[in-house]
Amino acid sequence: MFLAPMVLVWDSSPVWVTNGLEQVLTISLFFTAHKYSRAVDLYTQAISLNSNNVVYWANRAFAHTKLEEYGSAIADATKAIEIDQRYVKGYYRRGAAFLAMGKFKEALKDFKQVAKIVPKDPDAMKKLRECEKAVQKIRFEEAIASDKIIVAETVDYQTIQVEPSYDGARIEGDLVTLPFIKTMMEDFKQQKKVHKRYAFQILLQVRKSLMALPSLVDISVPDNGQFTVCGDVHGQYYDLLNIFELNGLPSDENPYLFNGDFVDRGSFSVEVIFTLFAFKCLYPQGIYLARGNHESKSMNKIYGFEGEVKAKFNERMVELFAEVFCCLPLAHVLNGKVFVVHGGLFSTDGVKLSDIRGIDRFVEPPDEGLMCELLWSDPFNGLGRSPSKRGVAVAFGSDVTKRFLEENNLELIVRSHEVKEEGYQIEHDGKLITVFSAPNYCDQMGNKGAFIKFKAPDFKPDIKAFDAVPHPNVKAMAYANNLLSLLG
């Protein structure tokens, strides 16, 4: 049956595609509804009909940016620039994508080009100045980095006085207790802060605990024992409380693994991280924590955690958090069967578990190599490998997953790192599961959250999905860097 074309309008340029059997909508409605994947599909169809229209490439770049597919956004914006070297939005979209990746110097080059093409545009000049300031700050930090002392070695929490007016949770003595954690969690629920004395105490104690762990942690669950794996929480404290309501608090009898990206984006990251760290202090074998790509300085500087810690505490605590994040393990193996990692697999075959154990993880994540790929890689529907849509690490196919499992005598990979509509997705012939535990991500995506329960000895995944719960009127990204306004 022949169907008339529909007009999709975005950025004042019409896009003609056939609508198939789908509802006729404008592309602006897909953006309004946060259906960015559908917008990418429609622009892809438009590009197939007219690949020389710069607007199509730039608008698809914008949609990729919204999907956090920054590598694809850079590629599309670059194509727009190749077609028209004076197309301002091409440079603007590419600069915004570089910025989202924390590549400030590359972003600055594109924003300079924007200002060169439209030198009298006040908005362009303002954004250029903001980017210049960010680059100058980074250069200054790099210059003094070699002279920095280890903050953890300079903090003595016992000398910090607790004011008589403080009426929140207290640690009596040197040990974190369950009553303290429960009181602190209730205080957080009421938007009260834990005193900085106890905050520093938790950070120093969890750092000591994490430093003693290997980069790859082996976990043994006894027969009939259970184990829960959660994905990204991203500062959504009230959804974390809901997980505990649904599944019980962490304990030696009810152990959890939180698989990275505890912070950033959500505006209750401080509350999330202190809750998880406090439980780690109390139950070293009752809760395990893996590093995600957002447990890093570059991401925290952009996506809100740095700003939140400064607002609720101080700069010194920002630096201490960065030191603690560098102590987080990179992956876990459950009962010799299930490999759990935040991102995914590698750009080369033959990587053994012993190679992961041998990684020196006590650094900021590099831009390439095994550590980078563990934190940043994604699976894709296909075979082999391809460049990552994120512009970092690699996308890997089902054959790569199969070989890694066979070579390391494993049965399943569990990873996180990507928002999924149902809170999870099973891929690669059932050998790989993505789990994401931040429902209605960033207060706008409408997705469910999920966690996975395993029971020994068979260790078959039992996936539990859940909806978002209400939270106080503090929107996601409330503490994000002002530069994020450049994304659009």
Residues 261-278 pLDDT 10s: 999 999 999 999 999 999
Q: What percent of the chain has pLDDT over 70?
A: 91
pLDDT for the residue 488: 59
For residues 287 and 85, what is the distance between their CA atoms, to the nearest angstrom? 53
Assign domain 152-487 to its CATH superfamily: Metallo-dependent phosphatases (3.60.21.10)
Which of the pair, 192 or 120, is modelled with greater confidence?
A: 192
Integer CA distances (angstroms), 138 to 50, 252, 266, 406, in order = 41, 42, 24, 43
Peptide bond before residue 439 is cis, with ω within 30 degrees of 0: no
Q: Which two tokens stand for residue 99?
A: 């910025």
Tell me the domain boundaries of the chain: 5-145, 152-487
Angle at 391 between CA 106 and CA 119, to 5 degrees: 30
Mean pLDDT, to the nearest integer, of 224-249?
98
User: What would the pLDDT profile of 337-360 be if each residue is shown by its tens digit?
Assistant: 999 999 999 999 999 999 999 999
Mean pLDDT, to the nearest integer, of 151-156?
95
Exposed (0-12), middle (13-18) or buried (19+): which is 163, by Cβ within 10 Å? exposed
CB atoms within 10 A of CB 460: 9
Integer CA distances (angstroms), 324 to 43, 204, 273, 345, in order = 43, 8, 11, 24
Q: What separation, in Å, do the N-terminal and C-terminal C-alpha atoms of the chain show?
A: 39
Q: Is residue 233 predicted with pLDDT exceeding 90?
A: yes
Helices (H), 342-382: 353-357, 370-376
Supply the DSSP symbol for 364. Answer: P
Which of the pair, 150 or 26, is modelled with greater confidence?
A: 150
Q: Do residues 267 and 478 lie in contact, with contact meaning Cβ atoms separated by under 8 Å?
A: yes
Q: Do residues 155 and 204 lie in contact, with contact meaning Cβ atoms separated by under 8 Å?
A: yes
Is residue 105 helix, strand or coil?
helix
User: What would the pLDDT profile of 38-59 be if each residue is shown by its tens digit?
Assistant: 889 888 988 999 999 999 999 9
pLDDT for the residue 31: 64
Integer CA distances (angstroms), 198 to 175, 178, 203, 289, 355, in order = 10, 14, 9, 20, 37
CB atoms within 10 A of CB 179: 11
pLDDT for the residue 145: 66
For residues 162 and 167, what is the distance between their CA atoms, to the nearest angstrom? 10
Q: What kind of fold does domain 5-145 have according to CATH?
A: 1.25.40
Mean pLDDT, to the nearest integer, of 104-119?
90
* Amino acid letter for position 110: D
Residues contacting residue 458 through CB under 8 Å, at least 6 positions apart: none
Supply the DSSP symbol for 264. Answer: S
Q: Do residues 26 and 7 lie in contact, with contact meaning Cβ atoms separated by under 8 Å?
A: yes
Q: Do residues 393 and 343 lie in contact, with contact meaning Cβ atoms separated by under 8 Å?
A: yes
pLDDT for the residue 26: 54
For residues 321 and 360, what is the distance between their CA atoms, to the nearest angstrom? 18
CB atoms within 10 A of CB 222: 9
Question: Where residue 64 falls among pLDDT bands split at 50, 70, 90?
Answer: very high
For residues 108 and 12, what is the distance between their CA atoms, to the nearest angstrom? 27
How does DSSP assign 374-416, residue by residue? HHH-EE-SSSSEEE-TTSSSEEE-HHHHHHHHHHTT--EEEE-
For residues 477 and 307, what is the distance between their CA atoms, to the nearest angstrom? 10
Q: Do residues 414 and 339 lie in contact, with contact meaning Cβ atoms separated by under 8 Å?
A: yes
pTM: 0.91
Which of the pair, 12 or 389, is modelled with greater confidence?
A: 389
CB atoms within 10 A of CB 417: 26
Which of the pair, 273 or 134, is modelled with greater confidence?
A: 273
Q: Is 332 a catalytic residue?
A: no
pLDDT for the residue 415: 98
Domain 5-145 identical in fold to domain 152-487: no
Instruction: Return the closest-CA partner of residue 215 out of 374, 323, 452, 322.
Output: 374
CB atoms within 10 A of CB 439: 22
Give me the torsion for CA of 178, 181, 185, 188, rounded to 10°.
160
How does DSSP assign 8-59, residue by residue? EEETTEEEEEE-TTSPP--HHHHHHTT-HHHHHHHHHHHHHH-TT-HHHHHH
Active-site option among 64, 294, 332, 417: 294
The DSSP bridge partners found for residue 258 are: 230, 289
